[in-house]
Structures are given as structure tokens and as C-alpha cells.
Amino acid sequence: MSDTTEKPAGGMNRRDFLKAGLAAGGAAAFGGAAAAAENDPLITEVQDWNRYLGAGVQAAPYGVPSEHEPHVVRCDVEWLTASTESSVNFTPLHELDGIITPNGLCFERHHGGVADIAPADHRLMINGLVDTPLVFTMQNLMRFPRENRVYFLECAANSGMEWRGSQFNGCQYTHGMVHCVMYTGVPLKLLLEEAGVKANGKWLLAEGADAAAMTHSIPMEKALDDCLVAFKMNGEALRPEQGYPLRLWVPDWEGNMWGKWLRQLEVGDEPWQQREETSKYTDLLASGKARRFTWVMDPKSIITNPSPQMPITHGKGPLVISGLVWSGNGQIKRVYVSIDGGRNWKTARIDGPSFFKALHRFYLDIEWDGSPLLLQSRALDEHGFYQPTKNELRAERGENSIYHNNSVQTWHVKEDGTVENVEVS
């Protein structure tokens, strides 16, 4: 966003800054002498939007963002993968605030493109080691008791490109495979109880109805705990790219477990060892061995503003540092911010709803003196888990992996306000 107000002088606090920098405009409008503001037609003249009727209510029965916000989109990633059907795009975290991700901006990750399914044609089957195999229509699912919960969803590969060094200038690219939504759905436990899981039914294979027929093994203990079969997100029907009309919802666990276009739940006595849980979505260590079934998303945070895509354009003085923090391990206890590359830390202010297993929004309000910053944030959860540095993570897991990078990210804020993705040792 551009700004016609002059930059404030250095060394002033917020009150001084506003009185000096902003009162000019106010004074001009009310007979003062500040030349710059007096000549600002935005204050002294009636503008078109105040003079002429605007568009009426008919324009868009389903509303869309302002035409002044064309840059707030999930980014074009044609350069990233061989095809768009098995690809990804990223949530524009730097443009957002609060904790809810609008449905139109939730990142996508597909393995066979977006399945186009009419709800009346969709079926969910539960079979395998159950007393009674069942098939549900969407309408029948909606006759079960529903729940509403706000949870984050993070792709296991989020920040994966950062393992081998700072790669991308923007939190949209480094951390944009996460979103936070209020879901409505039916507890999976209720559906499994209807079918009657046999005593040796210890695992569940969840399968999607898309062209990839994505499958994942889920331990029965998790399935009976807090999983949901969801049909609404942020109040309305799931979006096609998020599994419309039905999605499995596996809180705290990596996003690829959240089966989109969910059509089958097979109960078995051991995991299935499918492609997406063996050759993919396992963490190859330096030794050549791989960690697998590493489902839980560890504590993590990111400063979204300022960041490479959201430089400081207003000069010295009051600066709102803002970011997101989350953990699949437990409640967020605290989030710290450093402006000097991790030498000193301040506790940031978490503001707004603080749901267990959801994104949290944090702020640190500072006075920027115009000197370079090395901005970092660091999450701490209730069990004492904290984010490691990149080098601590590499020391433990090597550099082969692309999954489960929850390390501390560093932004280098330069004197001119531009921001770069860097590493500090």
C-alpha cells in the first residue's frame, strides 16, 4: 500500500510522531498552515466516491474481494512442478491477519487434480474389519450429530525448501502451506461405531475419490479420538480444492492425512504401506534410514509482517511486527520475537481467540530506529517443546528431508525497509 504522508523524523515516540506527522493533515483541513496537507485534494475536495452513487447490491450475489486487492492470491507456481494437477500453491500469509484463513486463499496441494463431484453422486463407504459394511450418502451423513472446531492444517512439506538454505523471499513461499479454518462435520467415531469395528481393527485406510485415489493409514486410536468427517469450512460447503463435498479431518497431523474427496474408510489390522506413507511423506535421515509415520506437526511460528513480500515502507517509528504460531503437540504457551538474530528475545502478545490446535496471531509493537534487524520468532508449547534453529534441526535430521521443518526463520530487515530471507549461524 502506498502512502502520501511524509515519513516521520527519527527518534520520536508514537505520540510525538502522530502529532507531528499526522496533525498537519488535520490542521490543514481545519484552517491550519501545513502546506502539504492543505494541498492534498483527498482532504480538501469531495471525492468521486462521495459524490456519485456506488454499485448496488446486485453486483455480486456471491461477493468477491475489492479490485484494489488483485495481489492477494495464492501464488502462481507453474515454475515449481511438472504439471499443475500434481502441484501446490501457497496461502498469502503476509497479506492476512487474525487467525481465520478465507476459503478462497487456503493453499492447495493435489496429486491428481481437483475431483469434480456432485454431492448427490458422492458416497462414503466403511468396510473391512467391521460388523456391518456401510455406505453413506451426503444426506445421511448430515443426519448425524455435528461438531464445529477451528484447527490449523499444515502440509508436512511446509518450509521444506528451506532445509538446504534460505531459498525464497517471502513467507507465502516458505510457510504458506498452512491454513486455519472452522470446520463443521460428524465425529468419525460415530460412523465407526455404526459399522462396529472388530476387535482386531487397529488401522484405518482413508481413500479419496480423486484421480490419485490418495490413501493413508491412520491408527484406530486417532480415528476414535478427535477425527471428523467434515462438509463445511468457515460456514459454507467445502471448496472443491479442499475436498468437496467431504473431507477427513485429522487435527494436529500433517495435511496429507486429511483425506480430500473422502470415499472409503477400510478397517484393517496393520498399516497398508501405501506409496504416500513410504516413498513419500517419510523423513530421510543422513544415515539413509527414514523416519515414518511422523504425523504430528511440531511447534512452529513465522513472522508475516514485515517480511520479504511486506517490506517496511513507512520509515522509522512505530512498527507492528505480526506473525502466526501453532503446534500440533499441545497448547501454545508462549511465542518469542528477536530483532537481533536470536541474541535477545521478547515475549510477543498473542491476540484474539486462542484455540487448542489452531493458529494463534501474535504481535510485537516496537519503535524502529531505522537500523537493520534480524527478525526471528520462536514458539514454545505447554510440554516445553520449542522451535530449533535450522542448524539444530540439520544436526539431528540431516539435509535429505523435505518434511517437518519447524525451525526458526530469519528475516533481514535492511535500512531501506526491504526484507530478505537469510540464515544466521
Find the binding residues for a copy of itself in span 57-116 (CB under 8 A). 57-69, 72-78, 83-85, 87-89, 95-106, 108-110, 112-116
User: Which 366-425 residues touch a copy of itself, going by CB under 8 A?
Assistant: none
Task: Pick the piece of the chain touching a copy of itself (CB under 8 A) from 136-144, 153-161, 169-177, 249-257.
Answer: 136-144
CB 136 within 8 A of CB 124: yes
List binders of a copy of itself among 327-356 (CB under 8 A): 349, 351-353, 355
Decide: is 4 part of the binding site for a copy of itself (CB under 8 A): yes
How far is it, in rounded angstroms, from Cα 423 to Cα 374? 9
Determine which residue in the list 94, 129, 136, 336 makes contact with a copy of itself, applying CB under 8 A.
136
CB nearer a copy of itself, residue 314 or residue 394? 314
Please work out the total of residues on this chain that contact a copy of itself, with binding judged by CB under 8 A: 141
To a copy of itself, the closest distance from the beta carbon of 221 in angstroms equals 23
What are the backbone angles phi and psi of residue 5, rounded to the nearest 5°? Answer: -75, 140
Closest distance between a copy of itself and the C-beta of residue 156, in Å?
17
Q: Applying CB under 8 A, does 244 fall inside the site for a copy of itself?
A: yes
Residue 235 found at the interface with a copy of itself (CB under 8 A): yes
CA dist 266 → 133, 227, 252, 273 (Å): 9, 15, 22, 14
Q: Please check whether residue 402 is in contact with residue 157, taking contact to mean a CB–CB distance below 8 angstroms.
A: yes
For 37, which DSSP code? H
Number of C-beta neighbours around residue 61 at 10 A: 6
Nearer to a copy of itself among residue 70 and residue 288 (C-beta): 70
**How many other C-beta atoms lie within 10 A of the C-beta of residue 57?**
6
142 near a copy of itself, rule: CB under 8 A = yes
Fill in the amino acid letter for 365: D
Sites for a copy of itself among residues 254-293 (CB under 8 A): 261, 263
Does 251 participate in binding a copy of itself (rule CB under 8 A)? no
Considering only the stretches 148-156, 163-171, 331-339, 413-421, report the one whose residues sit in contact with a copy of itself under the rule CB under 8 A: 148-156
Task: Name the pairing type of β-strands 123-128 and 262-268.
Answer: parallel
Using CB under 8 A as the binding rule, whether residue 11 contacts a copy of itself is answered as: no
Which of 371-389 are b and which e, b meaning 16 or more Cβ less than 10 Å from the residue's Cβ? Answer: eebbbbbbbbbeeebbbbb
Contact (Cβ atoms closer than 8 angstroms) between residue 267 and residue 126: yes
Contact call for residue 172 and a copy of itself (CB under 8 A): no
Query: Distance (Å, rounded) from C-alpha 29 to C-alpha 8?
Result: 20
Which of 24, 265, 335, 413 is in the footprint of a copy of itself by CB under 8 A? 24
Stretch that binds a copy of itself, among 220-228, 230-238, 339-347, 417-425 (CB under 8 A): 230-238
Q: Which three cell numbers stand for residue 381?
A: 508449547
CA distance 133 to 130: 6
| Residue 263 vs 412, nearer CB to a copy of itself | 263
